[in-house]
Amino acid sequence: MPMSASPRAARTGPVKAGGLLFVLDHSRWTQPMRDAIDGLLAKHHGQKDLLTKVDAEYAALVLAASRDPNNLLHPTTKQHISRYVKHQAKLMNRSSCLNTSPEKLLETQELWHHLTEGSETVCVPVVTLPPAPVNPPSSKSQEPSLTKAEIENLVKELVQKQQQQQQQQQQQPVPKKIRNCLACGQPKSRYLGDGSSIHFFYQAGKVKYFYCSTKMHRTYVAEGLTDPRMEFLDFAATPFFKRELEAAKQRSAESRQVTEERGKRKAMEQLPTGRLSRFCHKPIKQGPGGRHTHTGFPGVTGKYVYCPSKVFHLYQSEGMTSEMSWEEFCQSPFYETEKKRWVAEKGR
């Protein structure tokens, strides 16, 4: 059976799916395909799940007829078979897409008489429904309709209201979101909160320090700090401020050092380019610096890519102790075993 019944019969798929995908989404069929589908339809005629059974056997035929077993094949779907059935129905009646030919009508009538023969529900009593009551027109005079000028005035008023609302929304500033202090739970602002703590932001050069009176009281209460609501100017006069400032400088230096090292590490890292091995996830490239060897077996057509990690994983249970180079692998007893395995895998 030919694989390409029309120019749309095969298209290129993603690399991870194997490259070439044969997708049977065409609307034209060759004569061998017609004969195969007609034979399967006649074989399963009258059975339950006709399209499913025909679809399964037809997919098996197409897969068996594939010339290149290494390429992936997307088998046909039930939609493909149903499309062929609709195509055959249209061929019987070219003048109408609804298939209302005299032959089809006669076949439908015979089928209906065969199904309803001897049934007690052939004659259905006819019930005559009374006419629906009609609402009488109201005697009240209808309200006068709006004039064109009144409608225009209403529209203008609505447009003006919308514009005013938009201007008001644009004029209102968006409130800045203020974070909460981790020590006391109050907003990091001098003017917000319940007044239980005092906050202040101090900056000198590259050193930034955030002062929280509650946090400092908890930290230095054992060393003599008694006021939980001490002002920042009073705290700056104590020896505790120098200790906090030195700690802030050290944290700032460490943060800058970590940022610089991270940037250097990102600059030094080089992501692999090209195709990667599915087993060891390293580039498959030819050359002296490559880990993989592109070669072949004598008497066997096709290129073989030797991956030391994959071969070691396959034959570790059979006695292979470590990964080998291609020259060492050719001298090992696993060479013939790998050759037979690869030939069998390729011939699937």
Length of the chain equals 348
The predicted pLDDT at position 94 comes to 53
Per domain, the residue ranges of the chain are 10-112, 199-267, 293-346
* pLDDT top residue among 10 and 218: 218
Helix (H, G, I), strand (E, B) or coil at 20: strand
Chain centre distance of CA 144: 59
Helix, strand or coil, per DSSP, at residue 330:
helix
At residue 22's C-alpha, the angle toward residues 16 and 24, to 5°, is 135
Q: Give per-residue pLDDT as tens, 232-252.
A: 888 888 889 888 989 998 988
Alpha carbons within 13 angstroms on the beta-carbon side of residue 303 total 6
- Separation between Cα atoms, residue 55 and residue 75, nearest integer Å: 9
Element (DSSP H or E) covering residue 58? helix 50-64
Query: What distance lies between CA 238 and its chain's CA centroid?
Result: 59
Residue 11 in this model has a pLDDT that exceeds 60: no
Average pLDDT over the chain, rounded to an integer? 77
For residue 47, pLDDT beyond 50: yes
**Alpha-carbon distance values, 197 to 42, 178, 194, 243 (Å):** 89, 16, 8, 21
Question: How many angstroms separate the CA atoms of 243 and 249, rounded?
Answer: 10
Using one digit for the tens of pLDDT, what is the confidence trace for 94-113?
Answer: 544 455 566 777 777 777 77
pLDDT for 161 equals 92
pLDDT higher than threshold 80 for residue 73: no
For residues 87-97, give the mean pLDDT: 63
Which residue, 84, 83, 85, 58, is CA-closest to 73?
58
What is the DSSP secondary-structure string of 156-215?
HHHHHHHHHHHHHHHHSPPPPP-PBPTTT-SBSSSS-S-SSS-EEEEEETTEEEEEEHHH
Sole residue written with tokens 């590490």? 265
What are 266's two structure tokens? 């990102």
What DSSP assignment string belongs to 110-136?
A: HHHHHHHTT-TTSS----PPPPPP-PP
306 vs 113, higher pLDDT: 306
pLDDT (tens digit per residue) in 246-272:
999 898 889 989 999 988 888 776 666
CA 13 to chain centre: 17
